[in-house]
C-alpha cells in the first residue's frame, strides 16, 4: 500500500504518474517535525536495519552510516566523502523487522542522514513544501514494484544500444571516428556506436556541426550506418550567447531562457563561455528546445546524450566580476596562510555555486520559481524535452537518450550514465554498487564510463571493468581528453578484449529479455542478494555481488592483481567460467563461501538452481547486433527439477512490446541439460 502525505504547498515535479489520495494523520514509520523551513523525519534504526536506495550516490549498497544530499552536482571526483553526485533520487527502503519504502518528492535539497550524525538514527530533512510517500510491504521487491508503478514505466532503448559502444572526449573529426570503427572491426571486435563529444560542434554551440571537421555530415552518418555503426552526439544544457546563432536568437526573442533577479536572461558560462539556460521547466520552452533535436534526427542521428544539465556553471558574470575585483585587489600583497588559501578558494568557489543557483528563475507555466527550489529538476526536464520531442518526431521508433543529471521520473524519458568517474579500481566497485540503487528508481538503461573517465586507465582495469560492463545495459568505454587512449585495441592482449566483448553479444538475448521484463513489469534488473534471499542473514551483508535478471548472479573482480575473490553462494549454483564464447567450463557448487580463482581474461558468473539462460550463436563475423542470429539459441542451464524461461525478442526499434509472438515461454527438465549444462538443439 502507498500512502501520500502532503506538507505545505509542494511544486508539481512530474515524478509520479498515479493519483494517490492524501493521507491525514501521521506516517507511522517515522516521527515528523515541522519547522518554519523544513520537514524533518526521524526514526531509530535497529542494529541490523539496512538502508537501500538513494540511486546515484557514493559508498555501498547498504547506505547506513553516512549522509547523502540530493543536490545535483557537477563533481568529477566520486570519493567516499562526497554527499552529492549528479542525480537526485529520493527513494529508499528501510529493511529490517518490518520493511518500508519512502519517497520524498521535493526538487530542492533533501538530506538523508542514515546514521552519520547519530549511528542509530535515520533523519531526513526536506523542504517545508514537499510530498512524502510511504510504501508498505514485507518483501523488498514488492516495495520497489509498487514504487515503480507509482513513477511509471522505464525508458526502453533501441536494441543496438545494448551493443558495445566507444566514446572519447577528443574525437575531433570524421577520420578520428573512422579510425575507431576500423580499430574495432578490423580486429574482429564488435562495435555498435561511436560518441560525438563536444568536439563536433561549432564553438560548442548546441545543434551545430563544425563543417571543417564534418564537411558532409548526412553522408558521414550514412557511411557509418552502412557498417551498422551509430553516431551519438552530446547536447549540452547551455546555449551560447552569440549574435545570429539561431538557437540563441530564437530563445531570446521568445523568452525561452531562465531569468535573473532583474528579469533579464540569466548569464552563466560553460564550454563556449557565456550561455543562457533554456527554461525547460516551462512547457513552451521545453517544446521548443526538444524540437531542436530534429535537426540532427533529420540527418540520420538516432541517439543522444544530454550533459552538463545539473546545470553545471563554470561561473556567472556577476560573481566572476566580484572575484576578479578581489583578486586584483590582492595584487602585490604578501599572501600568507589566510590570504593565499582564500585566493585559491575564490577561484574554486566560482563554479556551481549555491549563490548562483539562488539567483535565477524559471517560469513554470505562469509561476515564477527560484532555481534553487527546483534545482534537481533541470536535468530531468532537459531530457523530458527531448523525450517528448522524440514522441512527436518519431512516434514509432526508439531513440537512444541518456542524461547526466536526473530526478525521479526522468527514467520514463531516458537512462543515465554515472558521470565523470576515474580510472581507479575503487570506482569499478562503486559502479557495481550503484546499479541496484538506480534500478530501484526505475533507471534501468545505465552504466558507468568503462575504464574510467578521468586519469589513465590500465589494461587490467579496463578488462576487469568490461567483465562487469558486459552486464550493464549501457556498455560504453568513455574517457576524458588528455588521458591515455583507451579503445580496447590500444592494449597488448587484444584477444582478451575481443573475447570478452563477444561474450556480451553472446549474452544479449538474455540481457535484452531481462531488461525488457524489468522495464515492462516494473522490476529490477540488478538486485542486491537480500532482495531474492530475504531470510539469509549472510546475503544481507554482501556488498559486491549482484543478481542480474532472473537467472544469474555475478561476483566481479574489482581489485588490482587479484587472482580471484571470495564469493558467497546463497544457494546451490552452477559456476560458469568463460574466457571466450567457445571456451567454457561449468561446475555445480553448493551453497556456501568460496575463494574462486578468476584469471584476468576470464568471466565467471553463476546460474541459479532451476534456471536457464539463452545464448546467441555467434559466428566469427559478428561485429554489431545486426549480425546476431535470432532464430535459434544455445541454452545454458542448471536444472535439477524443471525450469521455465520467458524469452523476449522484437525488432529492437519499434515500440510495440505487447505482441504475443515476442514473448515465448520455454520449459526445460533436468534431462535437457544432462550434457554439460548445455542444450543445443531447440529453435
Ligand atoms: C562532461 C561529461 C563528459 C564529457 C565532457 C566533455 O565532463 O560528463 O562525459 O566527456 O563533459 O563534453
For the segment 389-406, what is each residue's pLDDT rounded down to a tens digit? 999 999 999 999 999 999
CA-proximal residue: ligand 1, atom 5 (nearest):
169
Q: Tell me, in angstroms, the distance from the centre of ligand 1 to residue 308's CA.
A: 8
- pLDDT at 98 exceeding the cut of 90: no
Asked whether 198 lines ligand 1 (CB < 6 A), one says yes
Q: Give 52's pLDDT tier (boundaries 50, 70, 90).
A: very high
Asked whether 404 lines ligand 1 (CB < 6 A), one says yes
Nearest atom of ligand 1 to the alpha carbon of 169: 10
Q: Tell me, in angstroms, the distance from the centre of ligand 1 to residue 415's CA.
A: 16
Q: Give 28's pLDDT tier (boundaries 50, 70, 90).
A: confident
Asked whether 236 lines ligand 1 (CB < 6 A), one says no
CA-proximal residue: ligand 1, atom 4 (nearest):
169
Nearest atom of ligand 1 to the alpha carbon of 308: 1
pLDDT of 643 reads 98
Asked whether 169 lines ligand 1 (CB < 6 A), one says yes
Nearest atom of ligand 1 to the alpha carbon of 420: 8
Nearest atom of ligand 1 to the alpha carbon of 305: 9
Rounded mean pLDDT, 13-24: 96
Per-residue pLDDT tens digits for 354-385: 999 999 999 999 999 999 999 999 999 999 99
d(CA 462, CA 503): 16
Q: Tell me, in angstroms, the distance from the centre of ligand 1 to residue 113's CA.
A: 30
Q: Are 51 and 62 in contact (CB under 8 A)?
A: yes
- Beta strand 573-580 pairing with 583-589: antiparallel
Q: Give 681's pLDDT tier (boundaries 50, 70, 90).
A: low
Pocket test for ligand 1, best of 165, 197, 204 (most atoms within 8 A of CB): 197
Nearest atom of ligand 1 to the alpha carbon of 449: 9
Residue tagged 552519520 (cell numbers): 116
pLDDT of 682 reads 62
Q: Give 99's pLDDT tier (boundaries 50, 70, 90).
A: very high
Asked whether 307 lines ligand 1 (CB < 6 A), one says yes
Q: Are 166 and 476 in contact (CB under 8 A)?
A: yes
Angle at which helices 217-226 and 174-185 cross, to 10°: 0
- pLDDT at 207 exceeding the cut of 60: yes
Q: Tell me, in angstroms, the distance from the centre of ligand 1 to residue 404's CA.
A: 9
- List, in order, residues 6 or more apart from 142 with CB less than 8 Å away: none
Pocket test for ligand 1, best of 77, 167, 169 (most atoms within 8 A of CB): 169
Greatest CA separation for the chain: 85
d(CA 171, CA 382): 25
Q: Give 586's pLDDT tier (boundaries 50, 70, 90).
A: very high
Pocket test for ligand 1, best of 171, 480, 486 (most atoms within 8 A of CB): 480
Q: Give 333's pLDDT tier (boundaries 50, 70, 90).
A: very high
- pLDDT at 590 exceeding the cut of 90: yes
Nearest atom of ligand 1 to the alpha carbon of 198: 12
d(CA 216, CA 220): 6
- List, in order, residues 6 or more apart from 12 with CB less than 8 Å away: none
Q: Give 629's pLDDT tier (boundaries 50, 70, 90).
A: confident
Rounded mean pLDDT, 295-321: 97
Q: Tell me, in angstroms, the distance from the centre of ligand 1 to residue 381's CA.
A: 19
pLDDT of 676 reads 87
Per-residue pLDDT tens digits for 464-483: 999 999 999 999 999 999 99
Nearest atom of ligand 1 to the alpha carbon of 167: 10
Q: How many other CB atoms are found less than 10 A from the CB of residue 115?
A: 18
Q: Tell me, in angstroms, the distance from the centre of ligand 1 to residue 576's CA.
A: 37
pLDDT of 10 reads 97
Per-residue pLDDT tens digits for 428-441: 999 999 999 999 99
Q: Tell me, in angstroms, the distance from the centre of ligand 1 to residue 495's CA.
A: 30
CA-proximal residue: ligand 1, atom 10 (nearest):
169
Pocket test for ligand 1, best of 235, 308, 405 (most atoms within 8 A of CB): 308
Q: Tell me, in angstroms, the distance from the centre of ligand 1 to residue 419's CA.
A: 8
Task: Give the long-range contacts of residues 363-367, CB within 8 A, separation 24 or more.
Answer: 363/255, 363/259, 363/279, 363/281, 363/282, 363/285, 364/11, 364/281, 364/282, 365/282, 365/283
Q: Tell me, in angstroms, the distance from the centre of ligand 1 to residue 453's CA.
A: 9
Asked whether 197 lines ligand 1 (CB < 6 A), one says yes
Pocket test for ligand 1, best of 232, 270, 420 (most atoms within 8 A of CB): 420
CA-proximal residue: ligand 1, atom 3 (nearest):
420
d(CA 452, CA 465): 9
Q: Tell me, in angstroms, the distance from the centre of ligand 1 to residue 676's CA.
A: 46
Asked whether 234 lines ligand 1 (CB < 6 A), one says yes
- First-last CA distance in the chain: 42
Q: Tell me, in angstroms, the distance from the centre of ligand 1 to residue 447's CA.
A: 15
- Kindly state the DSSP code that residue 617 receives in the 8-state scheme: P
Per-residue pLDDT tens digits for 257-274: 999 999 999 999 999 999
CA nearest 531: which of 131, 157, 151, 138?
138
Q: Tell me, in angstroms, the distance from the centre of ligand 1 to residue 42's CA.
A: 38
Q: Tell me, in angstroms, the distance from the centre of ligand 1 to residue 307's CA.
A: 7
253 φ, ψ (degrees, to nearest 5): -60, -40
Nearest atom of ligand 1 to the alpha carbon of 481: 10
Question: How high is the mean pLDDT of the chain?
Answer: 97
Amino acid at each position: 500500500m502507498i500512502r501520500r502525505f502532503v506538507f505545505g504547498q509542494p511544486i508539481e515535479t512530474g515524478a509520479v504518474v498515479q493519483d494517490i489520495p492524501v493521507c491525514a494523520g501521521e506516517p507511522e514509520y517515522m516521527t515528523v517535525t515541522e519547522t518554519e523551513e523544513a520537514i524533518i523525519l526521524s526514526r531509530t534504526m535497529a542494529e541490523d536495519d539496512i538502508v537501500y536506495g538513494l540511486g546515484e550516490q557514493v559508498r555501498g549498497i547498504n547506505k547506513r552510516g553516512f549522509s547523502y544530499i540530493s543536490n545535483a552536482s557537477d563533481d568529477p571526483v566520486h570519493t567516499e566523502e562526497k554527499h552529492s553526485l549528479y542525480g537526485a533520487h529520493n527513494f529508499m527502503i528501510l529493511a529490517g523487522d518490518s520493511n518500508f519504502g519512502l519517497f520524498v518528492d521535493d526538487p530542492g535539497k533533501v538530506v538523508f542522514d542514515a546514521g552519520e550524525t547519530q549511528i542509530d538514527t535515520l533523519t531526513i530533512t526536506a523542504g517545508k513544501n514537499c510530498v512524502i510517500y510511504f510504501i508498505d510491504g514485507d518483501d523488498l521487491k514488492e516495495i520497489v514494484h509498487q514504487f515503480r508503478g507509482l513513477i511509471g514505466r522505464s525508458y526502453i532503448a533501441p536494441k543496438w544500444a545494448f551493443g558495445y559502444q566507444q566514446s572519447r572526449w577528443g574525437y575531433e573529426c570524421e577520420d578520428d571516428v573512422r579510425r575507431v570503427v576500423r580499430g574495432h572491426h578490423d580486429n574482429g571486435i564488435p562495435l555498435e556506436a561511436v560518441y560525438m563529444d563536444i568536439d563536433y560542434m561549432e564553438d560548442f554551440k548546441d545543434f551545430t556541426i563544425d563543417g571543417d571537421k564534418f564537411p558532409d555530415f548526412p553522408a558521414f552518418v550514412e557511411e557509418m550506418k552502412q557498417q551498422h555503426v551509430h553516431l551519438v552526439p552530446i547536447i549540452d544544457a547551455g546555449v551560447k550567447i552569440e549574435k545570429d546563432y539561431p538557437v540563441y536568437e530564437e530563445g531570446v526573442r521568445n523568452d525561452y531562457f531562465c531569468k535573473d533577479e532583474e528579469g533579464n536572461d540569466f548569464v552563466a558560462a560553460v564550454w563556449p563561455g557565456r550561455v543562457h539556460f533554456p527554461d525547460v521547466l516551462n512547457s513552451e520552452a521545453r517544446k521548443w528546445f526538444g524540437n531542436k533535436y530534429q535537426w540532427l534526427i533529420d540527418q540520420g542521428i538516432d541517439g543522444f546524450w544530454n550533459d552538463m544539465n545539473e546545470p553545471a556553471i563554470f561561473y556567472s558574470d556577476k560573481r566572476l566580476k566580484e572575484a576578479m575585483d578581489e583578486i586584483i585587489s590582492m595584487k602585490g600583497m604578501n599572501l600568507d596562510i589566510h590570504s593565499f588559501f582564500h585566493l585559491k578558494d575564490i577561484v574554486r568557489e566560482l563554479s556551481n555555486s549555491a549563490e548562483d543557483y539562488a539567483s535565477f528563475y524559471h517560469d513554470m507555466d505562469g509561476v515564477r520559481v527560484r532555481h534553487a527550489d527546483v534545482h534537481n529538476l533541470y536535468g530531468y526536464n532537459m531530457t523530458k524535452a527531448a523525450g517528448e520531442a522524440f514522441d512527436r518526431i518519431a512516434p514509432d521508433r526508439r531513440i537512444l537518450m541518456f542524461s547526466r543529471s536526473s530526478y525521479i521520473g526522468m527514467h520514463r524519458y531516458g537512462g543515465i550514465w554515472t558521470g565523470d568517474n576515474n580510472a581507479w579500481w575503487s570506482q569499478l566497485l562503486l559502479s557495481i554498487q550503484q546499479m541496484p540503487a538506480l534500478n530501484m528508481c526505475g533507471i534501468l538503461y545505465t552504466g558507468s564510463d568503462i575504464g574510467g573517465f578521468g586519469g589513465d586507465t590500465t589494461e587490467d582495469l579496463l578488462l576487469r571493468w568490461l567483465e562487469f560492463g558486459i552486464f550493464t545495459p549501457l556498455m560504453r568505454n568513455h574517457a576524458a581528453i588528455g588521458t591515455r587512449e583507451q579503445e580496447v585495441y590500444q592494449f597488448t592482449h587484444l584477444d582478451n578484449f575481443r573475447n570478452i566483448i563477444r561474450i556480451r553479444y553472446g549474452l544479449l538475448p538474455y540481457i535484452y529479455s531481462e531488461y525488457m521484463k524489468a522495464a515492462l513489469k516494473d522490476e529490477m534488473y540488478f538486485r542486491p542478494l537480500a532482495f531474492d534471499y530475504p531470510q539469509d542473514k549472510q546475503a544481507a551483508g554482501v556488498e559486491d555481488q549482484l543478481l542480474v535478471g532472473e537467472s544469474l548472479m555475478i561476483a566481479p573482480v574489482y581489485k588490482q592483481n587479484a587472482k580471484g575473490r571470495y564469493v558467497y553462494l546463497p544457494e546451490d549454483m552452477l559456476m560458469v567460467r568463460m574466457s571466450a564464447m567457445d571456451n567454457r567450463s561449468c561446475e555445480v557448487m553448493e551453497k556456501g563461501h568460496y575463494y574462486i580463482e578468476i584469471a584476468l581474461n576470464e568471466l565467471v558468473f553463476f546460474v541459479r538452481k532451476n534456471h536457464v539462460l539463452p545464448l546467441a550463436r555467434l559466428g566469427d563475423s559478428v561485429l554489431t547486433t545486426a549480425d546476431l542470429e535470432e532464430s535459434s539459441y544455445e541454452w545454458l542451464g542448471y536444472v535439477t527439477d524443471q525450469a521455465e524461461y520467458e524469452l523476449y525478442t522484437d525488432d529492437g526499434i519499434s515500440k510495440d512490446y505487447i505482441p504475443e509472438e515476442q514473448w515465448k515461454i520455454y520449459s526445460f527438465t533436468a534431462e535437457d541439460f544432462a550434457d554439460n549444462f548445455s542444450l543445443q538443439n531447440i529453435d
